[in-house]
Amino acid sequence: MNEPGQVLINRKEIAQKVEELAFSINQDYQNESVLFVGVLKGAVVFLADLIRYMSIPVEIDFMAVSSYGNSTKSSGEVRILKDLEQSIDHKNVLIVEDIMDTGLTLQFLSKTLHQRHPLSIQVVTLLDKPQKRLVNIHPDYLGFTIGDNFVVGYGLDFGEKFRELPDIHVLNQ
């Protein structure tokens, strides 16, 4: 049975990092507006906390993509399940992701969104597993680098379970 195990990153560390990331984004986009594109479902909690610290004009929209299903391993195939509801033409776009590992999802999203003529595209991710990277892509704003553990909590799930946990836990398998 899969259950949340030890706390890897506690809620206080998460809150502090989210505030730091927001400060950097605010500095980089002074006097500009940004469209935050939350990657559903995992990034919802992170996105909600992040926008609370924004001092710049922010719009939000969402995309849902799938590469995991109910597995702890990426299938390598990325599919759009829900697309944006608005145009990103000539807008600053910030993709908000919960975790970057293989990089395939973000490479797919970046390529797809670039075809829609945004002013800029950058990526903020709460967690990064660089040792899992299969493509050459890196976040512009990074919260934490973690090891090769499957993690849950703070919006991250396993089979739709454990998103509600306020800390990030290693999944016991």
d(CA 26, CA 64): 26
Q: Classify 123 as helix, strand or coil.
A: strand
pLDDT of residue 66: 77
Q: List average pLDDT for each run of 10 residues in the chain, which is 173 residues long.
A: 88 98 98 96 97 97 78 65 96 97 92 96 97 94 96 94 96 86
Q: How do the domains of the chain map onto residue ranges?
A: 3-65+78-172
Please, are residues 51 and 29 in contact by the beta-carbon 8 Å criterion? no
pLDDT of residue 165: 97
Please, are residues 124 and 25 in contact by the beta-carbon 8 Å criterion? yes
Fold entry, domain 3-65+78-172: Rossmann fold (3.40.50)
The structure's pTM equals 0.91
d(CA 25, CA 32): 11
pLDDT of residue 77: 73
Token couple for 10 = 């506690």
- DSSP 8-state code for residue 130: G
Containing H/E element for 112? helix 104-114
User: Which residues are tagged catalytic?
Assistant: 101
